[in-house]
Amino acid sequence: MGGTTEMEIGDGIYQGEVGDIYFLGSDIPHAIRNTGDEPCMYMAFQWE
């Protein structure tokens, strides 16, 4: 699967491609969206 994403983390916006990782604390405002024409997949992990 391919695709591209855009991740809003706090006040910043970051572009991502296949294999990229976004790393942030769960208490930071964030949102992710698919910016490509094909489906994309992401996984989210949370630990304490």
3-state SS, one letter per residue, for 8-35: EECCEEEEEECCCCCCCCCCCCEEEEEC
Give the pLDDT confidence score for residue 24 in this predicted structure. Answer: 92
Q: CA nearest 8: which of 37, 20, 24?
A: 24
Q: What is the pTM of this model?
A: 0.78
Q: Which amino acid is at 1?
A: M
Give the pLDDT confidence score for residue 2 in this predicted structure. Answer: 73
Residue range 3-44, pLDDT digits in tens: 899 999 999 999 999 999 999 988 999 999 999 998 888 888
